[in-house]
Amino acid sequence: MRHRFHHGDIAFVHPVRTRLVLAGAIFLPLWFWRTMTTLLSDGLFAGFVAVVLFVMGLVLTGSIALDDLRPAHLKAPFKE
């Protein structure tokens, strides 16, 4: 059962967002490895695409994780 947390409590973390952050933590090293191997073997365009995908994954995972770390009193009110 979900309820509104008080200001002193840890901020509510949505389970889907938590799964996204965990997925990013697992797959970002794999993306990094693939990016480096692509740059070294497959040519410039494929390397550019791999770098763009890696940076997008890094930004998405980092922004979700940082948002979840904000204190509860700085977040928008929880809507039921």
pLDDT in tens, 46-72: 777 777 877 887 787 777 767 666 666
- Residue whose C-alpha is closest to residue 14's, from 54, 5, 6, 26: 5
Q: What is the mean pLDDT of the chain?
A: 69
pTM above 0.85, yes or no: no
Contact assessment for residue 7 and residue 72, using Cβ atoms and an 8 Å cutoff: yes
How far is it, in rounded angstroms, from Cα 50 to Cα 42? 10
- Count other Cβ atoms within 10 Å, centred on residue 50: 19
Higher pLDDT among residues 7 and 56, named by residue: 56
pLDDT of 44 strictly over 50: yes
